[in-house]
Structure 1
């Protein structure tokens, strides 16, 4: 299936198979050829990009049910410290995206991340769940009804999916869904943000929103999505350790940092 999709792209763009250089040695789903990036996808992801195409600026130049070709945007912001000016431009981009009239599913607050984390903690004999369970139960995540408007959200807004050349562009929209306006900002702030930065951008984001929101509802929902996204990142860190992609010291440092973020829920 993958080879046939690459052959199709090669024919469409007058390339040779040897031009395709893998960018992900683990999955072999991502390739670069000249100034193009080729990603092997499935029909579900292709359908999401079709829905987004009329409303969101995407670097896509070719789309089929099993492959997508994008302009090569160069280096992402992965691993870089975001300046205040960059962060506010990303926030402005999010706010513009949120207004897009796109029909995608509603993001479910189904606690699946909590289940994944529990399984990993059991396998690795790590005690995080006492604290995590307390936060989930106190915030009643499973039964929470969103108070803020449903808007279009990216769903995986880490720095590896953000590019800043002449302007901000986002890739990897397969987790796009209708959700709370705070879904994406609480994911973005997972990367290297301090507690002080999280507090600052929580308030800045609220002030930059183009519509009125009750302060209590906003703060509650921000905290809830900060919890959910932090647990999602804890799953990622422990998964990397389990698969030998990250050593014990790095994992311990990142887990401790994530658990420190959750102390914000107690203030």
Structure 2
């Protein structure tokens, strides 16, 4: 009997089938079919963490009150190999998002925004004392420039102005010295559409590795990274302030706009670097990465110009 089977047996679960979930994950993930002691089928996902990437497990251990209403985690193992067991939520929203109509996309986004607002409305003092504090640093900028240079050394189709546009954004807006304008709230830290699921009529989030205290716009601008339509991005930006108001989080428009723009540029830069990494790892085709880079570079330039025009 393997260690995984032993761990499941401790929960009175017998393994029928184990399937590896492939992808650019920080760990090993398996989809498991089991039966319980009443011979009822139970579908689960088991994730073993890499040694240097177990912040998510610490979060589950320390902040179970937060996670309980947003994630279907069943068990946490803090002994080696560190791992979690959760209900199988099936396919992430990203898988089918592209084929939805514009109205269906907007309706789904509204549901996600409302769920995030519930998280952002939680009392920090009562629920998340001890969480790290998120702020913009030079990390994503440096990584993205390195990735761009690496890409340029291997491909003739790269453009020199891409790095210039990124550098200009960080320099002109003094991004790494930005202090958030919005109240500090509990944030998921990585709520892109691959980490969001819809099951049993409810929105669920996985992968809380980057959970921290920060601006609510931190999560919203990461959500936007899977949207390749400026109209939808604007829809998210405009809609979330109304959603926050409905949850009694009233933020002045200027503060809201500034946080959105700064965090959006930083997170778009981060995602650019990650998308290039997925290309290097052959998860993304050359044609796809070209389209992604062109769109995100255009967004960095657009929002930089918007910020300079609005506040200077």
TM more than 0.5: yes
Whether the aligned pair in 1 keeps the contact of 2:136 and 2:263 (CA below 8 Å) is no
Aligned residue-pair number: 264
Distance 2:24 2:137 in 1: 29
Q: Residue 90 of structure 1: which of 112, 130, 151 is its match?
A: 112
Whether the aligned pair in 2 keeps the contact of 1:156 and 1:184 (CA below 8 Å) is yes
Q: Residue 44 of structure 1: which of 37, 52, 55 is its match?
A: 55
What's 2:174 paired with?
140
Query: 5 Å matches for 1:58-137?
Result: 58-65=71-78, 66-79=82-95, 80-81=97-98, 83-100=105-122, 101-103=127-129, 104-125=131-152, 126=158, 127=160, 128-137=162-171
Could you say if the C-alpha distance between residues 48 and 193 of structure 1 is closer, same or farther in structure 2, counting changes exceeding 3 Å? same
Structure 1 unmatched runs, 5+: none
1:127-163 deviations in Å (ceiling 9; x for gaps): 3211001111122111111111111111111111111
Query: 5 Å matches for 1:238-249?
Result: 238-249=276-287
1:149-195 deviations in Å (ceiling 9; x for gaps): 11111111111111112111111111111111101111111213411
Whether the aligned pair in 2 keeps the contact of 1:153 and 1:178 (CA below 8 Å) is yes
Distance 1:85 1:227 in 2: 25
Distance 1:256 1:149 in 2: 33
Q: Residue 239 of structure 2: which of 204, 209, 214 is its match?
A: 204
Q: Secondary structure of 1:97's partner?
A: helix
1:19 maps onto 2:35 in alignment? no
What's 1:167 paired with?
202
Distance 2:177 2:128 in 1: 26
The offset of 1:98, in angstroms, is: 1.2
Q: Secondary structure of 1:164's partner?
A: strand
Distance 2:142 2:90 in 1: 36
TM-score between the two structures when normalised by the length of structure 2: 0.79
Whether the aligned pair in 1 keeps the contact of 2:141 and 2:269 (CA below 8 Å) is yes
TM-score between the two structures when normalised by the length of structure 1: 0.91
Query: 5 Å matches for 1:178-257?
Result: 178-209=213-244, 210-257=248-295
1:31 maps onto 2:57 in alignment? no
Query: How much is the aligned-residue C-alpha RMSD, in angstroms?
Result: 2.0
Could you say if the C-alpha distance between residues 147 and 192 of structure 1 is closer, same or farther in structure 2, counting changes exceeding 3 Å? closer
Whether the aligned pair in 2 keeps the contact of 1:195 and 1:264 (CA below 8 Å) is no
Instruction: State which structure, 1 or 2, has the greater radius of gyration over its C-alpha atoms.
Output: 2
Runs (4 or more) in structure 1 with deviation over 3 Å come to: 13-19, 25-28
Distance 1:110 1:236 in 2: 17
Q: Secondary structure of 2:209's partner?
A: coil
Q: Secondary structure of 2:46's partner?
A: strand
Could you say if the C-alpha distance between residues 26 and 182 of structure 1 is closer, same or farther in structure 2, counting changes exceeding 3 Å? closer
Most deviating of 26-35 and 231-240: 26-35
Distance 1:25 1:239 in 2: 12
